[in-house]
């Protein structure tokens, strides 16, 4: 599990290369495009089969847009999304049409953030979990009922609650229903969009445990989107930190938390409150505000807030560089800075 990132091209289940997603801003009667919101700008990552990659970052950094682009819930502006099908064939799904995507849908599934709005309140749990089965050709009712019961047991819900409506379940239980629905078609890739952030603390842990168990049993590959770094630490093999639409750093989980290479990662880690009253993080407080994705700052998009910025950072856009240990970082000064990780930044109060 601590192996370094292997060359993404061979055994990766998902290989995203140079992904871009712009949202045009229209103005006037002619609906002319006056500007673009660069929600995702040149994002590349690969997830090996059975592993978890987390996208972290603050609101508006493009992590959710990236995940939705991978799901092809929206059209992408550029780049490629190579997905290895269960048949072994590798498809670039970035350019596929709605109809072309349909046969692939069963292999890529999603768990949503909000356990309330993601389940149709007018359908019973059996119908919700059974719908993917029904529309994908499992016509016999009894077959579906059996499969739904099996799925419910697998996610830790008693199968006798099948005929109930979602309103009878608590947030954590609804999230289990959402997971069961996603599992129905035996996907190989699961996109988990903040799946625990709407849950109570005590329930978060249950759902995280369930996700870990399912990955073990079913060899699932997760693309996990989250803003909570503590949760990310628990679930991920690799972490990609995003800022203003691009990945600023990508590394194995422990490496990234212990020894960040990008100043933004350092600031993000230092901001996490430590659940120990005797310790406090030596904060790297960021100056100012996140720049605009319509008109990002010139040079490195993070430079106006960066404590280590130099002249070069203000003019030249840094490239995503690969280090010797197989990490990736987008910073001109990555090799010379010595940044603190979660271990070294804590001070006794």
Partner 1 sequence: MTATYIETVGDGSATESKVLVASQWQLMWWRFRKHKLAMAGTFVVAFFYLVVIFADFLAYSDPNASEAYQALLPPQPIHFFDDGVFAPHVLGMTGKRDPQTFKRVYAPDPEKKVPLRLFAEGYSYKFLGLIPTNRHLIGPVGALAEDTIFLFGTDMQGRDIWSRLMIGTRTSLTIGLAGVTLSLLLGILLGGISGFYGGWIDNLIQRSIEVLKSIPTIPLWMGLAAAMPRDWTVVQVYLAITVIISLLGWTELARVVRGRFLALREEDFVMAAELAGCSRARIIARHMLPAFMSHIIAAVTLAFPAMIISETSLSFLGLGMRPPAVSWGVLLQQAQNVQAIAISPWLLIPAIPVIVIILAFNFMGDGMRDAADPYG
Partner 2 sequence: MVEELTVKHFEITETARGPKQMNGAPVLSVRDLRTHFFQDEGVTKAVDGVSFDVCPGQTVGIVGESGCGKSVTSLSILRIVDPPGRIVSGKILLRREGGGGVTDIAALPANSRALRDIRGGEIGLVFQEPMSSLSPVHTIGSQLMEAIRLHTHLHESAVRERAIDMLRQVGIPQPEQRIDSYAAQLSGGLRQRAMIAIALAGQPRLLIADEPTTALDVTTQAQILELLRSIQEETGMAVALITHDIGVIAEMCDYVIIMYLGRVVEQGPVDQIFFSPKHPYTEALLRSVPNVHSEPKTRLPALAGSVPHPLHRPEGCPFHPRCARFMPGTCERSQPRLTEVGPDQRASCFLYPGADHG
Residues of this chain that bind partner 2 (CB under 8 A): 1, 52, 58-59, 170-173, 200-206, 208-209, 212-213, 227-231, 233-237, 253-254, 257, 267-278, 280, 283, 285-286, 288-290, 342-343, 349
* CB-nearer residue toward partner 2: 38 or 233: 233
By the 8 A CB rule, do 19 and 43 touch? yes
Residues 55-94 that bind partner 1 (CB under 8 A): 71, 73
Overall size of the chain counted in residues: 349
Out of 20, 51, 144, 181, the only residue in the binding site for partner 1 (CB under 8 A) is: 181
End-to-end CA distance of the chain: 35
> Does the protein bind partner 1 through residue 32 (CB under 8 A)?
no
Bridging pattern class, strands 90-92 and 108-111: unpaired
From residue 199, how far is each of 54, 73, 208, 220 by CA, in Å?
19, 24, 11, 23
Q: Scanning residues 95 to 124, which ones bind partner 1 (CB under 8 A)?
A: 102, 105-106, 108-110, 112-114, 116-124
Strands 90-92 and 78-84: antiparallel
Instruction: State the minimum distance, in angstroms, from the CB of residue 147 to partner 1.
Output: 14
CB of 170 to partner 1, least distance (A): 4
Of the candidate spans 56-64, 151-159, 215-223, 315-323, the one that interacts with partner 1 by CB under 8 A turns out to be 151-159
Q: Round to whole Å and give the CA distance between 68 and 298.
A: 27
Cα(120)–Cα(223) distance, integer angstroms: 24
When binding is defined by CB under 8 A, the residue of 161, 205, 218, 314 that contacts partner 1 is 161
Nearest alpha carbon to residue 56 among 249, 309, 299, 308: 249
Pairing of strands 321-322, 238-243: unpaired
- The 3-state DSSP class for residue 42 equals strand
Q: Which is nearer to partner 1, 85 or 164 (CB)?
A: 164
Q: Contact residues for partner 1 (CB under 8 A)?
A: 71, 73, 102, 105-106, 108-110, 112-114, 116-124, 131-132, 135-136, 156-158, 160-161, 163-165, 167-170, 173, 176, 178, 181, 184-185
């Amino acid at each position: 599990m601590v192996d370094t990132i292997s060359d993404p091209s061979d055994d990766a289940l998902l290989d995203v290369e140079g992904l871009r997603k712009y949202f045009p801003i229209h103005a006037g009667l002619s609906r002319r495009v006056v500007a673009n919101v660069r929600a995702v700008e040149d994002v590349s990552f690969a997830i090996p089969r059975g592993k978890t990659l987390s996208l972290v970052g603050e609101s508006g950094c493009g992590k959710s847009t990236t995940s939705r682009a991978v799901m092809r819930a929206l059209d992408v502006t550029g780049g490629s999304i190579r997905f290895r099908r269960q048949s072994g064939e590798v498809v670039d799904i970035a350019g596929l049409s709605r109809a072309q995507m349909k046969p692939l849908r069963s292999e890529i599934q999603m768990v949503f953030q909000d356990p309330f709005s993601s389940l149709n309140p007018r359908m019973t749990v059996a119908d919700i979990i059974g719908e993917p089965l029904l529309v994908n050709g499992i016509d016999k009712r009894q077959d579906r009922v059996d499969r739904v019961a099996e799925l419910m047991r697998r996610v830790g819900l008693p199968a006798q609650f099948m005929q109930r409506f979602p309103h009878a379940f608590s947030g954590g239980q609804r999230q289990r229903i959402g997971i069961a629905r996603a599992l129905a078609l035996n996907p190989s890739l699961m996109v988990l969009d903040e799946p625990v952030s709407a849950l109570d603390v005590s329930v978060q842990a249950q759902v995280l445990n369930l996700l870990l168990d399912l990955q073990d049993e079913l060899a699932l590959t997760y693309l996990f989107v989250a803003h909570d770094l503590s949760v990310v630490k628990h679930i991920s093999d690799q972490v990609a930190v995003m800022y203003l639409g691009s990945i600023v750093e990508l590394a194995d989980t422990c490496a990234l938390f212990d020894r960040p290479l990008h100043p933004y990662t350092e600031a993000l880690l230092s901001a996490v409150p430590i659940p120990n009253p005797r310790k406090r993080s030596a904060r790297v407080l960021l100056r100012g505000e996140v720049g605009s994705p319509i008109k990002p700052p010139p040079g490195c998009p993070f430079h106006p807030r960066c404590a280590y910025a130099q002249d070069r950072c203000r003019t030249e856009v840094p490239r995503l560089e690969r280090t010797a240990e197989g990490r990736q970082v987008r910073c001109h000064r990555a090799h010379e800075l010595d940044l603190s990780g979660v271990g070294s930044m804590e001070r006794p109060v």
